[in-house]
Structure 1
Amino acid sequence: MLTTPSQPFTVSRLNRTVRLLLEDEIGLVWLTGELSNLVLHGSGHWYFSLKDPGAQVRCAMFRGNNRRVAFRPQEGQQVLVQARLSLYEPRGDYQLVVESMRLFGEGQLQLQLEQLKQRLQAEGLFDVERKRPLPSHPRQIGIITSPTGAAIRDMLQVLARRAPDLPVVIYPSPVQGAEAAPRLLQALELAWTRNECDVLLIGRGGGALEDLWSFNDERLVRAIAHSPIPIVSAVGHETDVTLSDFAADLRAPTPSAAAELVSPDLGHRQERLARLAQRLERSLRHRLALQQLPLQQLARRLQLQDPQRQLQQRQQGWDRLLLRLQQAGQRLARPAEQRLQLLRQRLLAGSPAHRLAQQRQSLAQLEHGLRLGIQRQTRQGRQQLALAAARLQDLSPLAILARGYALTYDSQGQLLHSSQQVQEGDEVETRLHQGRLRLKVLKRLA
């Protein structure tokens, strides 16, 4: 890009052009150095310099990237960074925009890891086209891990909860140290030889990069990529990444998540079995209906040609003719029967026996009426007699005596009405309601 005195660059344009050249031509670089002039800004961004004995360079690490740094940066630390070359245009300062940062020892491993990753990726070992789908309903699951670690306990707990009837085979192997990678490879080859599992889980719990290094072993990574059995890599926590994760058919963020990914949930399996049973039942009913249709057609044809059915139809026709004949005879005989019935009624009305029966019936009615009249008269007479007896009782002297009165007679038996009818010294007799008294008149009062 040429300039002339008539068309010079402005400072802003120059800085912008230099920034674009640096970013486009050089791109990402790996750099190691010592932290200095560290500023942890309140905005969340980090500003610092990387230096060695001969030079230094300004760096900026923005908040979105520094959140992934696993340690707290301090002055004087040796670090390995991956950065993008750039230029701060307002001051024209050449700088690095850091995207990742690790301590230098871990950074060396990370650098080796990145180089191996790029080489294997160039061979196509990590291509998506190589990935195979996991079986939706595995018959048996294999786990390659340490038999005493926390990862195996987590995976077995998840499998026991989600699919308690799913068999599990454990291929034990150390997962850390110099012997881990060869032993992991042996366990993997044993699983291939026995060929008893539909899917394999390989992994361990979390740890530092050195702890997980066996899962970056090139031989193990190549074996995982070419495994005849689908493999799920479950190494460390979600933030831990190894080459085994890239080579496996599926990468799980944790061992527990790997167990969930390969095990069908019991409730979902039951629902799926219920749906399959319904589909099977509908299919069987449909096929049965299709098979029954020709049979029904043959059965209808057989019914139409059945001699017994034809005989039944003829018998039914004869029954209808006989019924019509009977109905016609009844219609012809009905007037004669009505006339005969009328004559019988007239003869019966003029018969002596009929008249005698009528007279007897009338006599019985009169006799019944007479009996009722006598009973009614007798009942009325008894009622009148009772009333008269009651009145007579009320007028009887005895009734008066019952109320406390008495009757006194002289010696001749004459009823006394006045004290003038007796003399002093006469004997009299007094009748009470109950009993009699014989008295002597001692003194006559007025």
Structure 2
Amino acid sequence: MSSPAPNSAEHPWPVRSVSAKVAQWIDRLGSIWVEGQITQINSRPGTRTAFLVVRDPSVDMSLSVTCSPQLLQSLPVPLTEGSQVVLFGKLSFYTGRGSVSLRVTEIRAVGVGELLARIERLRALLAAEGLFDARLKRPVPFLPGTIGLITGRASAAERDVLSVAGRRWPAVRFEIRNTPVQGPAAVPQMLEALRELDADPHVDVIVLARGGGSVEDLLPFSDEALCRAVSACRTPVVSAVGHEPDSPLSDHVADLRAATPTDAAKLLVPDAAAEQATVTELRGRAAAALRNWVQRESRHLAQLRSRPALADPLQGLTRRVEEVERLRDHGRRAVTRSIDTEHRTTEHLRARLTTLGPAATLARGYAVVQRMVPDGDAEVLRSRDDAPVGTQVRIRVADGALRAAVIGKDT
């Protein structure tokens, strides 16, 4: 086939050329393996081609598949809508109607063992990324104002949650999103409901609820997209999927795991009667504790009042009065004795000073002769040589002093 002219507004390619190029590019992909979930099977008797639709359960994307009816009939387990399969085939672009289809030559139904192995691999991956870390779990409120509930329409799980929660706390409010909980449409609709409830500011906690079932039935709750969406929610999420032995991956990424939907209602909504009984009990215990404390302190005060120090506060002082008087008299006597002793000592010293003093000597008839020195103090005469004739002298006697002059000397 000749190459078309360069593409431009003046030289546009015809549709046949575009379709041929698209077919060439798709044909280069070759044969591939594809995994998905069957959502539609159309195989009519007498036809040469069976038509299927396979979709990705994590996102809203599907692919048309064609095969021979004999291939479907030869499978050991008949395929049904919702079956998880692995297909081998080659993509083809049909230029006549501009559509892409996968022509398959081999179909393998994914068994329970393979599903469990894939779940375990995804479990290890999410655990390595820290989505199971207990430190990331958000606390669930004690009494949520509004509970978001994602569950199947008119399901037993919905009835269990609503009835149990209503009996335990009649004022509880729910924001319900009914979605498929199994099959090809389950994951996309649950993701959309999860986004809506997480964006609602009135919703305090979200519950994923479903009854028990087989591994295939519970497969949407182990979907990677759903697990990552639960982990990314800002609102606490409670996983109440299946029965006690069931453990989908949503149980591990959720902030709280409930064994059953009924258990979720019991974990989220307190029992009003039990809470009232607890409040009554605590009030009685608080009143009893207060009474016991008052009685204990009253007995303690009574014991303090009965002690001698408080019964007769002046008794201690009364007992000390005599001791104080005795010590005061003893102190007074000691001071008086000390004063008398010092007085006698002073008198004795005074008598000695009087006896030894010059006045006493003068009183016995002695006199003190002093030589008068002009412009100077009088000097005591100790020798007659110090007073030549004519020297002015001062004679001091017991009752006064005399002035005289030396008129002569006697031997």
**Is the shorter-chain TM-score for this pair beyond 0.5, marking a shared fold?**
no
Q: Whose Rg is larger?
A: 1
Q: Which has the higher helix share?
A: 1
**What is the TM-score of this pair, normalised by structure 1?**
0.38
**What is the TM-score of this pair, normalised by structure 2?**
0.42
